[in-house]
Amino acid sequence: MIILGIETSCDETAAAVIEGRGDEVRVLSNVVSSQIEIHKKYGGVVPEVAAREHVLNILPVIDEAIRKAGVKSPYPPLLKGANIKGAGKVDAIAVTAGPGLVTSLLVGVETAKTLGYIWNLPVVALNHIEGHIYANWLRPISGNSKSEILNSKQIQNLPVRPVRSAGGQSDSKIQISKIKFPAVILTVSGGHTMLVLMSGHGKYRVLGETRDDAAGEAFDKAAQLLDLGYPGGPAIAAVADKFNKVAIPLHPPTTGAGQALSRGQKKLPRPMINSGDFDFSFSGLKTALFYQLERDRNWRKKISAYAAEFQNAAVEVLVHKTIKAAQKFNCRNVMLSGGVAANLELRNRLKIAVKEKLTGAELIIPDLKYCTDNAAMIAAAGYFRARKKDFTPWQKLKTEPNIEFR
């Protein structure tokens, strides 16, 4: 079954084509048009600007995804596709219906609705968080992810393309990992922080979530305090990782986190680490950083030390609770998802903790390009729903900007 995925919930216009067979998913194309450069100057995503960019990008991105995948375009005059003998044809469309920015979501949902209608294809409406979870089915990954991430100008200037041979751009080395249930998934993005217990495809139980800021949001706000710009997560990670590499520990590491502290700098709190539940809280961590900076006249000379301590604090709490959840529910797989899953410190610490503290559980971490927003993950989640014929008729398809994940 071939699925066209569409994702426009925030500031990435993304389309991808995947092929699902049994429990296996193969990515045939994955195109992301990033708006980061546009929003950078505002210090964050401006919803109306994002929506206008989506409108400009959506069809070129879908067209590119279909062409790269080497699948037949369902109706050639609308999108070129690759009209190759024997190539597969799209069987269903999967689109992010929510949560997200309503003006951004509208572009993807209305496009999916229109294409579903004129191509007579069924549409799966997806929760964005479920999409992030299914990034874990897209591995191991190879290939050059950069070639697939284009900025808006590049997308809008794509030439009228000649038909190419099938499979030329496919990520052919992708294989499915045999994911075993129950699995626990730490899903950490700019909008959400959740621990999810998954007992089968589409079967979730939210064990805990953030009571205030999401982990990614906290990284973004901390980066603002430290004058590191937008997007904050990668900016903090970059200086923190560099600091951790060169810093000589002044205090012996306790849990591994002590390493980032420089002389005179107080440890930041590890919010709710011993709360005994699976909830998180990150707004206090950001506030603690704010007051430390206020009290330190020389903080600008220690930006990387503060960034490293902030990263340590957030990662320590995330890893601790994920391991506790995996232990409590005897999970056979631990998975990571969402934009913050691109954080190398989090990936490494979770790897170590799973090895040291869990027996018989395997850790699965998506490739970096499938952590931040993309449509391959939406198509993958869509495939498992399409298998069950969990479609939404176009008359009922609508955006769900505030939909909960349950």
Site residues (vs ligand KG4, CB under 6 A)? 10, 189-191, 216-217, 219-220, 231-234, 237, 338-340, 342-343, 372-373
Considering only the stretches 254-262, 304-312, 322-330, 371-379, report the one whose residues sit in contact with Zn ion under the rule CB under 5 A: 371-379
Q: Which is nearer to ligand KG4, 70 or 98 (CB)?
A: 98
Q: Which is nearer to ligand KG4, 243 or 391 (CB)?
A: 243
196 pairs with which residues across the strands?
185, 206
Judged by beta carbon, residue 64 or residue 217, the one nearer ligand KG4 is 217
d(CA 166, CA 87): 7
Q: Give whichever of 126 and 166 is closer to ligand KG4, judged by the CB atom.
A: 126
How many helices (H) does the chain have, and how many strands (E)?
Answer: 11, 11
Residue 211 to residue 320: CA distance in whole angstroms: 17
Cα–Cα distance for residue pair 256/375, rounded to 1 Å: 35
3 vs 50, beta carbon nearer ligand KG4: 50
Smallest distance from ligand KG4 to CB 223, Å: 7
CA–CA distance, 37 with 16 (Å, rounded to integer): 22
Q: C-beta of 343: minimal distance to ligand KG4 in Å? A: 3
Which are the contacts of 188, defined by CB distance < 8 A and separation ≥ 6? 194, 214, 215, 216, 318, 336, 337, 338, 339, 340, 341, 346
* Interactions with Zn ion, residue window 96-115 (CB under 5 A): none
Nearest to 100 by CA among 13, 195, 197, 201: 13
Partner from Zn ion, ligand KG4, none contacting 343, C-beta within 5 to 8 A by type: ligand KG4
Which contacts (CB < 8 Å, 24+ apart) does range 200-206 have?
A: 201/384, 201/387, 201/388, 202/130, 202/384, 202/385, 202/388, 202/390, 204/130, 204/405, 204/406, 206/405, 206/406
CB of 291 to ligand KG4, least distance (A): 22
Phi/psi of residue 3, nearest 5 degrees: -120, 135
**Which listed option, Zn ion, ligand KG4, none, makes contact with residue 233 (CB within 5 to 8 Å by class)?**
ligand KG4
Q: Which of the listed partners (ligand KG4, Zn ion, none) does 53 bind, with a CB threshold of 5 to 8 Å by partner kind?
A: none
Least distance between Zn ion and beta carbon 387 (Å)? 23
Shortest distance, position 188 Cβ to ligand KG4, whole Å:
7
Angle (CA) 53-95-234 rounded to 5° is: 60
Minimum CB separation of residue 314 from ligand KG4 in Å reads 8
Separation in Å, CA 261 to CA 95, 184, 246, 347 = 44, 31, 12, 21
How is residue 123 written in tokens?
Answer: 């549409």
For residue 106, the minimal CB distance to ligand KG4 (Å) is 17
Given the rule CB under 5 A, which of 51-59, 187-195, 325-333, 360-368 is the region that contacts Zn ion? Answer: 187-195
Pick between residue 127 and residue 392 the one whose CB is nearest to ligand KG4.
127
Residue 382 interaction partner, one of ligand KG4, Zn ion, none, beta carbon < 5-8 Å per kind: none
Closest CB 359 distance from ligand KG4, rounded Å: 29
8 A C-beta contact, residue 341 and residue 188: yes
- Residue 237 interaction partner, one of Zn ion, ligand KG4, none, beta carbon < 5-8 Å per kind: ligand KG4
Structure tokens at 149: 């991430």
Residue 268, binding choice from ligand KG4, Zn ion, none, Cβ under 5 to 8 Å by partner class: none
Phi, then psi, of 59 in degrees rounded to 5: -70, -45
Which residue in this structure is represented by tokens 């390009």? 369
Q: Should residue 189 be labelled a site residue for Zn ion when binding is judged by CB under 5 A? A: yes
Residue 146 C-beta: closest distance to ligand KG4, Å: 15
Site of interaction with Zn ion (CB under 5 A) = 189, 373
